């Protein structure tokens, strides 16, 4: 424990000047600061709260949120929510039971009462109103979004827990430790890649191999820029580069505990500081084939009949929806297809006519949730296919499904034919 310095205003909040709800939040932030040796607290511009699904919260979690809201806790900076366990508007139509929907809605009501905006998405960085800027301090709890904010944007955030992110939103601050400090942002591993990394699925396989080796370190990708087109000027579109980096960060965080990576000559801190950003004791990792990653993620090669094909983990960008609609135009699907995204991106896709094309083929553009946080087994799903590295890991673990893994085209072919074709 170290001496954490608080301003008079922060001390007052800790002593209960604004009621028990704010006091409880300040206690959480201060306790974490003391545990991690933070010198002080830092104001945050935006908070992303995870752990929203009733599947994760359970009744105890819902009761805790209600109690906090009843105590008068209100957020003082913009705060948004991760996906819930179901689509909020269409849960009945999609087959979710009222036993799940009722407590799920109750949890969301408690968040809303505290002033949180129910965006229900893991990609706040794709929203024009919330996209972070370089150098901003944030308190984000969604691990895939943390990797994006730190790495692609050069913002500063630790990987918060659900309650600590909400606490940071209520007091508008977080403890200054970890990735809020420049000295902790230097690379611990240098990754050299000598094989092609072409598709989103390739980036997912790479994320497994690097995440496993790096753990909670900071990888420096020495030559990955060769496989990345430039990011679009409007980064909220995703684009080919954004869609690959979205998957890379999600998989690094899921298979390791990576919150920050650098791509030489590409990501902002790597461009600004060059190899000075690599620690002298950094370890070298060489990747010359992605076969190991595919072997683990495409975990059930015996499965060919697919119950649910799911794309959009992290939530699909508009550029992914454009690619999917282009492939599905005029097709009829033989199996269920979910493209999971946010309400905001779905509305954007609907305006472009993409949702109509996908629905005409029999696919569903599902907002607010994903196949990990939704109780998909209760919808009868036993086998799934995806192009997303994180989904390939989490869905079998959280929902006990069998998984096939491949690139988007292979997944869409499986949705059209109902069967996975081994390549």
Interface residues with ligand F3S (CB under 6 A) are 82-83, 122, 144, 250, 313-315, 340, 370, 372-373, 390-391, 394
Question: Least CB distance from residue 238 to ligand F3S, whole Å?
Answer: 14
Q: Cis bond leading into 314, ω under 30°?
A: yes
Question: Least CB distance from residue 393 to ligand F3S, whole Å?
Answer: 9
Question: Least CB distance from residue 302 to ligand F3S, whole Å?
Answer: 24
Q: Is the dihedral of CA 308, 313, 315, 316 positive or negative?
A: negative
Give the end-to-end CA distance of the chain in Å, rounded to a whole number. 55
331-353: buried (b, 16+ CB within 10 Å) or exposed (e) per residue? bebebbbbbbbbbbbbebbeeee
Query: How far apart are alpha carbons 143 and 394 in whole angstroms?
Result: 13
Q: Which is nearer to ligand F3S, 199 or 340 (CB)?
A: 340
Q: Are strands 46-49 and 138-140 parallel, antiparallel or unpaired?
A: parallel
The distance from CA 379 to its chain's CA centroid, rounded to whole angstroms, is 23
Question: Least CB distance from residue 310 to ligand F3S, whole Å?
Answer: 9
φ, ψ for residue 387, nearest 5 deg: -110, 10
Query: How far apart are alpha carbons 165 and 153 in whole angstroms?
Result: 20
Q: Which is nearer to ligand F3S, 346 or 390 (CB)?
A: 390
- Secondary structure (DSSP) of 211-256: HHHHTTS-EEESSGGGG-PPPPSSGGG-HHHHHHHHHHHHHHHHHS
For residue 220, give Cα distances in angstroms to 144, 154, 257, 275.
Answer: 17, 14, 15, 9
C-beta of residue 74 within 8 angstroms of C-beta of residue 25 = no
Taking alpha carbons only, the member of 378, 387, 393, 389 closest to residue 409 is 387
Q: Which is nearer to ligand F3S, 138 or 370 (CB)?
A: 370
Question: Least CB distance from residue 221 to ligand F3S, whole Å?
Answer: 20
Q: Which is nearer to ligand F3S, 370 or 415 (CB)?
A: 370
Question: Least CB distance from residue 391 to ligand F3S, whole Å?
Answer: 6
Count the helices and strands in the chain (H runs, E runs): 15, 14
Q: Which is nearer to ligand F3S, 208 or 220 (CB)?
A: 208
Question: Least CB distance from residue 51 to ligand F3S, whole Å?
Answer: 10
Question: Least CB distance from residue 398 to ligand F3S, whole Å?
Answer: 9
Q: Which is nearer to ligand F3S, 13 or 313 (CB)?
A: 313
Q: Which is nearer to ligand F3S, 21 or 124 (CB)?
A: 124
Question: Least CB distance from residue 53 to ligand F3S, whole Å?
Answer: 9
Q: Which is nearer to ligand F3S, 391 or 415 (CB)?
A: 391
Q: Which is nearer to ligand F3S, 389 or 406 (CB)?
A: 389
Half-sphere exposure (CA, 13 Å, Cβ side) for 132? 30
By the 10 Å C-beta count (0-12 exposed, 13-18 middle, 19+ buried), 291 is classed as: exposed
Question: Least CB distance from residue 79 to ligand F3S, whole Å?
Answer: 17
C-beta of residue 371 within 8 angstroms of C-beta of residue 395 = yes
Query: Could you tell me the two tokens for 386?
Result: 């995806």
- 3-state DSSP assignment of residue 155: coil
Q: Which is nearer to ligand F3S, 307 or 368 (CB)?
A: 368
């Amino acid at each position: 424990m170290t001496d954490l310095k608080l301003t008079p205003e922060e001390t007052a909040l800790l002593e209960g000047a604004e009621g028990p709800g704010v006091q409880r939040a300040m206690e959480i932030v201060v306790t974490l600061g003391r545990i991690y040796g933070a010198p002080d607290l830092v104001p945050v511009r935006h908070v992303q709260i995870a752990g929203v699904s009733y599947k994760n919260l359970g009744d105890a979690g819902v009761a805790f949120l209600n109690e906090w809201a009843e105590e008068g806790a209100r957020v003082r900076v913009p705060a948004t929510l991760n996906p819930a366990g179901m689509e909020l508007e269409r849960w009945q139509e999609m087959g979710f039971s009222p036993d799940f929907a009722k407590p799920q809605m109750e949890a969301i009501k408690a968040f809303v009462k505290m002033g949180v905006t129910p965006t229900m998405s893991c990609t706040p960085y794709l929203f024009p109103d919330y996209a972070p800027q370089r150098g901003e301090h944030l308190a984000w709890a969604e691990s895939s979004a943390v990797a994006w904010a730190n790495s692609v944007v050069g913002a500063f955030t630790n990987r918060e827990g659900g309650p600590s992110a909400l606490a940071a939103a209520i007091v508008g601050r977080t403890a200054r430790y970890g990735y809020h400090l420049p000295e902790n942002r230097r690379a611990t591993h240098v990754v050299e890649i000598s094989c092609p990394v072409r598709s989103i699925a390739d980036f997912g396989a790479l994320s497994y191999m690097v995440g496993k080796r790096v753990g909670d370190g900071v990888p420096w990708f020495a030559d990955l820029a060769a496989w990345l087109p430039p990011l679009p000027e409007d980064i909220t579109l995703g684009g080919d580069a954004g869609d690959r980096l979205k998957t890379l960060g999600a998989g690094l965080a899921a298979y390791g505990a990576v919150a920050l990576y650098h791509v030489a000559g590409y990501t902002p801190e790597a461009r600004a500081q060059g190899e000075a950003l690599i620690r002298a004791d950094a370890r070298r990792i060489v990747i010359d084939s992605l076969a190991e990653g595919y072997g683990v993620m495409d975990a059930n090669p015996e499965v060919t009949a697919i119950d649910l094909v799911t794309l959009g983990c992290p939530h699909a960008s508009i550029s992914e929806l454009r690619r999917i609609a282009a492939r599905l135009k005029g097709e009829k699907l033989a199996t269920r297809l979910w493209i999971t995204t946010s309400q905001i991106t779905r509305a954007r896709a609907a305006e472009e006519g993409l949702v109509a094309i996908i629905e005409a083929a029999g696919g569903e553009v599902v907002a607010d949730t994903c196949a990990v946080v939704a109780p998909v087994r209760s919808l009868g799903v036993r086998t799934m296919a995806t192009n997303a590295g994180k989904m390939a890991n989490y869905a079998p673990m959280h929902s006990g499904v069998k998984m096939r893994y491949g690139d988007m085209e292979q997944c869409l072919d499986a949705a059209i034919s109902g069967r996975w074709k081994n390549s």
